[in-house]
Amino acid sequence: MEHKYVYLFSEGNETMRELLGGKGANLAEMVRLGMPVPQGFTVSTEACTRYYEDGKKIGGDILAQIETALTEIEKINGKKFGDTTNPLLVSVRSGARASMPGMMDTVLNLGMNDDVAAGLIAGNPDPKFARFVFDSYRRFIQMFSDVVMEISKKKFEEIIDELKKEKGVKDDIDLDVNDMKALVAKFKAFYKEQRGVDFPADPKVQLLESVKAVFRSWDNPRANEYRRMNQIPYSWGTAVNVQPMVYGNLNNNSGTGVAFTRDPATGAKALFGEYLINAQGEDVVAGVRTPNPIAQLKNDMPEVYAQFVAIAQKLEEHYRDMQDMEFTIENGTLYMLQTRNGKRTAAAALKVAIDLVSEGVITEEEAVLRVEPQQLDALLHPQFDSKALKSANPIGKALPASPGAACGRVVFTAADAAEWAGRGEKVVLCRLETSPDDIKGMAVSEGILTVRGGMTSHAAVVARGMGTCCVSGCGEIEMHMDEKYFLLAGKKYSEGDYISLDGSTGKIYGEAIKTVDADLSGDFGLFMSWADAARTMKVRTNADTPADTIQAVKFGAEGIGLCRTEHMFFGGNRIKSMRKMIVARTLEAREAALAEILPFQQQDFTEMYEALEARPMTVRFLDPPLHEFLPSKANEIADLAVDLGMTAEELAKIVESLHEVNPMMGHRGCRLAVSYPEIAKMQTTAVINAALAVTAAHPEYNIVPEIMIPLVGEIKELKYVKDIVTSTADALIAAAGSDMHYKVGTMIEIPRAAVLADQIATEAEFFSFGTNDLTQMTFGFSRDDAGKFLQSYYDTKIFEDDPFERLDQIGVGKLIEVAVSGGRKTRPDIKLGICGEHGGDPSSVKFCFKLGLDYVSCSPFRVPIAKLAAAQAAIAAKK
């Protein structure tokens, strides 16, 4: 039998979403439920895929099936396509598996031509009806030309404007039937002028061209961009729904509207929506007329309203979720044109899910599945007070680099930020760009604003890690660092002036706007408790400071999966000692410098163990290449040389000698410990002493330090560094008369380590997948440089996702799988986790669950997101 590509609504149901798209499946389901739906047919997503495979052609078999379906709906609706007495007019709409509102194209009133228009008018003597017919006709020409023939809508609007000017009228409504008729003629003439052929009068030609146009629109730039942002695969394709038209603009006994079964902003349980009498759907959206609240329909059309309320309730009960519906009333008859699970704010998502549980509609586990993990982000950051925001006007807009709202006084250096914050002032740090030197200042700021740098600049990455609001890359700012002011939108902002930032939109405000803190109790707390109950995989956090740790614990982190100790080498005297260590030319000098750093590092670990209480912490040893700790500019080198008691020439030589062609693949990670075992020794001492001290104060914490060696690619390399760690640690523990245990493990972030994980596991007591580096090396491109070519990869659809945001499951994921099974073969109880930035990406978290990892680790602000994703994965697995 030939493959079926076209389905009547009466042949489908809600489970056929993959084939029919969301809109098509739900229309079919409403038909099945006996609801008033204009009955049409759906050309399946498979037909779209075939269209692209066949070189953008619709195959003969599919054409024949469309033809047959058309005949069927002619029968069902008692109208005929192209018929002059009882013509069938249809809408042609896209409908993908996932909702992509406004991304693809729609053609309405299809089937219209001169004869059809004349026939329609002949059947109804009302002059208003004649105007309606020609209005519909001109709208069709306009839409078809735009969607199918790529003649911009705007040009047609210009023709309308001209006519209005000519007639001396203001609104479309003031144009009469003859004007509309004239417009149809003008539009057709313009079409011919543009395309050199007559506007197609044959309804079947109109239909096929429109179906092709919808297929084509799957591949338009805004659809591609939307898919990439929402991680919708290109390969899915879109379905096309062909449905008989019903007209809300037929007369005053007609209308159209949209409604939600609950409030999509708050989640409150009450029908929520709006409608317009004598209007088409686009009029509601366009906002020329102000729609009425849905409740008013009860007065306008009590019977229709009652019917709609009943349908809405039935749909919510049927789908067991809040519904978003479109309807049209044609001459007193209600037609349902769409229903779908309604999009909602994060707060509403929580409330609806919790209410549905208390209403007994869904279980707690189902509720957990109802909230998109990513959505929670909005609930975790401070937001502007909505009332205060109303009166505020942005002075600029740049990249929304790290979400949340911030309000504070402008400062220009990290040191100033620390000083002002020390006095209890809230500050916003404004910089050309940030560097590791600024971390301490960034940590005490409410928000960060930079002139240079993108979404993955230092400022952006660090701010996201800290959960601090950041707007980056605002090139409009004219910065005067030395004089401590900047110019933006013609105004001067000096140190101490108030500004506000919205890190979720990138907007910059030149005034103070009140912010409100995130509320982690209430609905959020209850919902997360359900997620936690369902979840089996642990969620740890990436935290490098005591402050991060406290924040992460508040967000529910179950330990630290990655403490990047390099951040402990910056700030104040530490960086000076670190630099002394780097320029040291003897072991003794190096050890002396390290001895200066030890107490600081030990103090950090002590405070973190205290903040964690009994939770575990994985400490990663020094990872970045040493040149990152030294300046590169001549004047900075000269200054530092004085500090270090050497000549600028000597220091410049050292800086030069540390230069690397490919620093990402250079002298870093455990390679540093191999060259300078004394660094590993110092770090072991700091971790173990801190753990011993906190254990002495709180024996019940039962601390088991986890020391992690980065960038291992060879078992002997790990063993070499591990031997330094164990000999140091064992001596300290013995000297303290303690019986504390500790573990030594490794990052798996180099392809070779993944391939040889079975060997590596003979020494490593745990693996943590460093998916940032693993992604770089598996793909062979550097995160810092990929920006130069990734856009062409998106444009050509070679990539649909950024592999640094969403784990590449088939490539990088394959290596992780190999490592997981290799590690378990050697050491069945090996502890496995992931600590790359993917640890906070829901789809990647689900992948980790599938591999049976013990935990994921992510930045503090992503902990609830990861927990929810892990809970959803666990629930899905049970089914």
Residues classed as catalytic? 458, 835
Cα–Cα distance for residue pair 601/570, rounded to 1 Å: 11
Please say which residue, 447 or 813, places its beta carbon nearer to a second copy: 813
Could you tell me the smallest distance in angstroms from the CB atom of residue 672 to a second copy? 8
Structure tokens at 17: 């979403």
Structure tokens at 788: 């130069």
Could you tell me the smallest distance in angstroms from the CB atom of residue 659 to a second copy? 9
Contact characters 566-595, a second copy, x per CB under 8 A: ------------------------------
Question: Is residue 713 involved in binding a second copy (CB under 8 A)?
Answer: yes
User: Cβ(16)–Cβ(28) under 8 Å?
Assistant: yes
Question: Is residue 708 involved in binding a second copy (CB under 8 A)?
Answer: no
Please say which residue, 600 or 781, places its beta carbon nearer to a second copy: 781
b/e map 278-298, b = 16+ CB within 10 Å: bbbbebbeeeeeebbebeebe
Could you tell me the smallest distance in angstroms from the CB atom of residue 803 to a second copy? 9
Q: How many CB atoms lie within 10 A of CB 740?
A: 17
| Secondary structure (DSSP) of 352-404 | HHHHHHHTTSS-HHHHHHTS-GGGGHHHHS-EE-HHHHHT--EEEE-EEEE-S
Contact characters 776-815, a second copy, x per CB under 8 A: xxxxxxx-xx--xx--xx--xxxx--------x-xxx-xx
Could you tell me the smallest distance in angstroms from the CB atom of residue 713 to a second copy? 5
Could you tell me the smallest distance in angstroms from the CB atom of residue 709 to a second copy? 13
Cα–Cα distance for residue pair 835/837, rounded to 1 Å: 7
Q: How many CB atoms lie within 10 A of CB 327?
A: 28
Q: What is the 3-class SS of 34-57, one letter each residue?
A: CCCCCCCEEECHHHHHHHHHCCCC
Could you tell me the smallest distance in angstroms from the CB atom of residue 42 to a second copy? 29
Query: Could you tell me the maximum CA-CA distance found in the chain, to the nearest angstrom?
Result: 104
Could you tell me the smallest distance in angstroms from the CB atom of residue 399 to a second copy? 19
Could you tell me the smallest distance in angstroms from the CB atom of residue 244 to a second copy? 40
Name the packing angle between helices 783-795 and 771-779 (round to 10°): 60
Q: What is the DSSP letter of 574?
A: H
Please say which residue, 43 or 232, places its beta carbon nearer to a second copy: 232
Question: Is residue 21 involved in binding a second copy (CB under 8 A)?
Answer: no
User: Which stretch in 21-29, 50-58, 334-342, 709-717 sits in contact with a second copy by CB under 8 A?
Assistant: 709-717
Please say which residue, 395 or 582, places its beta carbon nearer to a second copy: 582
Residue type, 833: G
Inter-CA distances, 754 with 663, 721, 764, Å: 21, 19, 13
Number of residues that bind a second copy (CB under 8 A): 47
Contact characters 740-779, a second copy, x per CB under 8 A: ---------xxxx--xx----------------x--xxxx
Of 49, 169, 666, 851, the residue at the interface with a second copy (CB under 8 A) is 666
Could you tell me the smallest distance in angstroms from the CB atom of residue 583 to a second copy? 16
User: Which stretch in 89-97, 263-271, 513-521, 668-676 sits in contact with a second copy by CB under 8 A?
Assistant: 668-676
Q: Give φ, ψ of 483 to 5 degrees.
A: -90, 0
User: Cβ(280)–Cβ(249) under 8 Å?
Assistant: yes
Could you tell me the smallest distance in angstroms from the CB atom of residue 836 to a second copy? 14
Looking only at residues 368 through 427 of this chain, which bind a second copy when binding is defined by CB under 8 A? none
Q: How many CB atoms lie within 10 A of CB 72?
A: 17
Cα–Cα distance for residue pair 770/518, rounded to 1 Å: 30
Could you tell me the smallest distance in angstroms from the CB atom of residue 223 to a second copy? 18
Q: Token match 């489970």: residue?
A: 15
Q: Give φ, ψ of 797 to 5 degrees.
A: 60, 20
Inter-CA distances, 30 with 329, 338, 450, Å: 16, 9, 52
Pairing verdict, β 766-769 and 743-748: parallel
Between CA 776 and CA 787, with CA 782 as vertex, the angle to 5 degrees is: 120
Cα–Cα distance for residue pair 652/630, rounded to 1 Å: 10
Single out the residue of 593, 664, 653, 592 nearest to residue 628, CA to CA: 664
Question: Is residue 709 involved in binding a second copy (CB under 8 A)?
Answer: no
Please say which residue, 377 or 808, places its beta carbon nearer to a second copy: 808
Contact characters 812-851, a second copy, x per CB under 8 A: x-xx------------------------------------
Contact characters 636-665, a second copy, x per CB under 8 A: ------------------------xxxxxx
Helices (H), 586-698: 587-612, 634-644, 648-658, 670-675, 677-697
Cα–Cα distance for residue pair 566/576, rounded to 1 Å: 14
Please say which residue, 61 or 758, places its beta carbon nearer to a second copy: 758
Please say which residue, 554 or 797, places its beta carbon nearer to a second copy: 797
b/e map 435-471, b = 16+ CB within 10 Å: ebebbbbbbbbbbbbbbbbebbbbbbbbbbbbbbbbb
Please say which residue, 56 or 192, places its beta carbon nearer to a second copy: 56
Please say which residue, 179 or 808, places its beta carbon nearer to a second copy: 808
Sign of CA pseudo-dihedral 811, 813, 816, 817: negative
Please say which residue, 146 or 773, places its beta carbon nearer to a second copy: 773
Question: Is residue 675 involved in binding a second copy (CB under 8 A)?
Answer: yes
User: Which stretch in 17-25, 87-95, 276-284, 669-677 sits in contact with a second copy by CB under 8 A?
Assistant: 669-677
Could you tell me the smallest distance in angstroms from the CB atom of residue 791 to a second copy? 9
As a residue count, the chain comes to 879
Cα–Cα distance for residue pair 259/181, rounded to 1 Å: 34
Contact characters 288-307, a second copy, x per CB under 8 A: --------------------
- The residues of the shown chain that bind a second copy, judged by CB under 8 A, are 660-667, 671, 674-675, 711, 713-714, 716-717, 720, 749-752, 755-756, 773, 776-782, 784-785, 788-789, 792-793, 796-799, 808, 810-812, 814-815
